[in-house]
Amino acid sequence: MGCACGTKKGEQVGGCDNNGACGTGGCNKMNVFDWLSNMDMPVEDRFDVIEVRFKGGRKDFYRNTEKLRLTTGDPIILEVQNGHHLGHVSMQGELVRLQLQKKKVANDHEIKKIYRLAHQRDLEKYEEVKKRESPSLYRTREIAQQMKLGMKLSDVEFQADNTKAIFFYSAEDRVDFRELIKVLAGEFKVRVEMRQISLRQEAGRLGGIGVCGRELCCSTWLSDFKNVATSAARYQNLSLNPSKLSGQCGRLKCCLNYELETYMEALEHIPKVEAPLLTERGEAQLQKTDIFRKIMWFGYKDDNNWYPLSAERVNEILRLNQEGKKPANLEENVIAQKEPLSTLNRDLENLDKKFKDKSGNQNRKNKNRGRGGRDGRNQNSNNPNAKNPANPGNPNPNRPSNQNRPNNPNNQNNPSRPNNPNNPKLPNNPNNQRNPNQPRNPNQRPNPEKPN
C-alpha cells in the first residue's frame, strides 16, 4: 500500500520517512479497510465519531464536532488532557459505530473532539518533538537501572505540543515508580506518564518478522489479544516444545487459536482412546492421529512398526473390548484357517518326493563307483575278485580281454563277429564303399565330398 500521509517535497516522500513502504511497519500500521466506502450515505445522518491512530498502532475515538470533511490517513489536531496532540484518521462512518459496540465504549460526552486538520507547521513541529524520543528512552533506561527497578522500558511517545511524555514498560511484578517519575520530570521538563503494557503489546509496538516470514500479526492487524493455552497445541497434535510454540514476545503464538475451531470440529468424529487396545497379539498403544484423514496409528510394545487404522475400526475394537472380547489382531477379528491342499498340490508333492528319491539313489551309485564296486578299478589286495587269476592282464573276470574282442586286429577269425568286407562300418573295408545290395538309410545324410 502507498503512503497515506506522505506529501512529496521535491523528490523525497514526506510523512513517515519510509519512502512509501508503509506496509513494512510505517504509517499504515494497524490500518483497516472501509468496505462501506463505496456506498453513498446521507451527510446529515453520517456518524460523527472518528477512529484515530497514534504511534505504535494505538487507537482512540474522537468526535467530529466541526463537521470536517476527513479522509482516511489525514493528519488532524485533536483534544487531549491539558493540551493537544496529532493523530491520523484510521476509520470513519458506520464501521466506527460497530467498533464502539465491539469495544464497549459509550457514545457520550466523554469522547473528546477534533480541532482541525493539521497544517504543514504542525507536521514540522511534531517531527522535531519525535527526535527527542530515542535519547529520552536511553536515558530513562539508565536511570531505571541505577534505581534497580524491575521494569523493561520499550517505547516512549511525546505529545505534539511537547508538554507530556508517555513511557511504555513491561514488568512481571508490581513496580513502585513514584520516585522515577520525579526524576524524569526534572530531567526532561515535561509531565511524565508511566503506562504498563503486556508482552504481546510490547512486541506489537516494536514490530518484527515471525517464523512464517511475514510481519507480526500483533504489529499489523491484530488488536485483541486472547488467551492462548497449551491445550490448543495438544488438540492440533503439535510438539509441546516451548521454543517452537513461543513467539518473539516469549508467550504462546497467537496463531495457535486461528485453526483451533476447525480441529475441534474434526476431533468430534475421532474416538477417544484413553487405554491401549487389547488384542490376542498384545496391547496396542496409540502413537499418532491424522485428524483430517481420520487415521489412527497404533503399535505393539515388542514391535517397531505402526499400523494405520480407520476411526470405524478403532470404534469396533473398543466395542469388543468393552464386551470382554479380544480380536486376533488390529486388522482382523478372527484369523482365517488354512484350506487343505488340493489334489494338484498333492501330485506336485509326490513328484518332488519321487525326484528326490531318484537323485538320492543316483548319488549313492556315484559314491559306490568311486569305491571300486562295478568298474573294478580298486586295486586293494583284500578283495579276492580284484584280479583275474586266469588272465592277469584282465582285472575283471566278467569282461573279455583285448585278445577276444572282435575289433582286435590280431584276432581275425573271431567266430562271434565275422569279417564282412561289404560292411561300410568295419575297418577292414578298404574302399569304404556301400554295398549296392544294401538299401540306403533315408535318415543318413549324404557326404557331399564323396560321390555315391
3-state SS, one letter per residue, for 212-262: CCCECHHHHCCCCCCCCCHHHHHHCCCCCCHHHHECCCCCECHHHHCCHHH
Least confident of 76-90, 272-286, 372-386, 432-446: 372-386
223 neighbors 247 (Cβ within 8 angstroms): no
**What was the pLDDT predicted at 447?**
54
Q: What is the largest CA-CA distance in the chain?
A: 156
Rounded to the nearest 5 degrees, what angle is found at the Cα of 160, between the Cα atoms of 159 and 166?
Answer: 10
Helix axes 178-188, 133-146, angle to 10 degrees: 140
Q: Which residue has the higher pLDDT, 25 or 201?
A: 201
pLDDT, average across residues 264-285: 90
pTM for this predicted structure: 0.59
* Rounded percentage of the chain residues whose pLDDT exceeds 90: 37
How far is residue 107's CA from residue 104's CA, in Å, rounded to a whole number? 9
Contact of 6 with 16, CB cutoff 8 Å:
yes
Grid coordinates given for 119? 497544517
24, pLDDT greater than 50? no
Of the candidates 158, 63, 162, the one whose C-alpha atom is nearest the C-alpha of residue 115 is: 63
**Residue 365 pLDDT level (bands cut at 50, 70, 90):** low
Measured CA to CA, the distance from residue 449 to residue 256 in angstroms comes to: 100
- Cβ count within 10 A of residue 286: 18
Pull the grid cell for residue 412: 581275425
Round to whole Å and give the CA distance between 92 and 246. Answer: 36
Residue entry with cell 534505581: 147
Look at residue 387 in the predicted model and tell me its pLDDT.
47
Residue with cell 466395542: 319
Whether the CB-CB separation of 72 and 82 falls below 8 Å is answered with no
Q: What is the DSSP letter of 23?
A: G
Contacts of 226 (CB under 8 A, 6+ apart): 254, 257
**Can you name the residues that pair with 184 across neighbouring β-strands?**
none
- Closest by CA to 220, choosing from 92, 87, 57, is 57
The 3-state DSSP class for residue 155 equals strand
